[in-house]
Amino acid sequence: MRSYNLGSSRASNPGMKRLALLIGLLFVLAGCGGGGESWGGYTETEAKDVMGALRQDIIANAPGDPATSPYNQLIPTRKELDNIDLRRVTMKGQETWEFRDQENNFCLNVWQDPKSEDPNTYVGICNSD
């Protein structure tokens, strides 16, 4: 008859030790990959958050009716950004995350100011690659 020590926190079987190590490694890797690599002071997820907040600010402060603002079509919502891979670009020597709308030649770039840690943005015509 085989006995199991259910109160022990140590794995006594070499196969169990390997399994426990593999599971632990997977948790570590999953935790590290959550936000992605930083570029321009932000991870891609953080850059998308900044872009989503910027969209709300622009539409709220633009002249005219926010419901019919052309910015509604140009600037993606945060939900739309979830389905878009932002580009990593260097603009005038600065690393930035970029949303690019090829059809309308429209770009939105964000990066973090290294001194103030505030977001910086560029909204306008795309710069040439």
pLDDT tens-digit profile of 7-35?
Answer: 444 445 555 455 444 454 334 333 344 45
| 80, two tokens | 């739309």
Q: Say what the pLDDT of residue 126 is.
A: 87
Say yes or no to pLDDT of 48 above 60. Answer: yes
User: What's the N-to-C CA distance of the chain in angstroms?
Assistant: 71
Q: Which amino acid is at 2?
A: R
CA dist., res. 45 & res. 127, Å (int):
23
CA dist., res. 121 & res. 70, Å (int):
19
Tallying the residues shown for the chain, one arrives at: 129
Q: Where is pLDDT greater, at 8 or 39?
A: 39
The full set of domain ranges for the chain reads: 44-125
- Average per-residue pLDDT in the chain? 79
Task: Enter the pTM of the model.
Answer: 0.69
Q: Hey, which residues does 96 pair with through a beta bridge?
A: 89
Q: How confident is the model at residue 71 (pLDDT cuts 50, 70, 90)?
A: confident
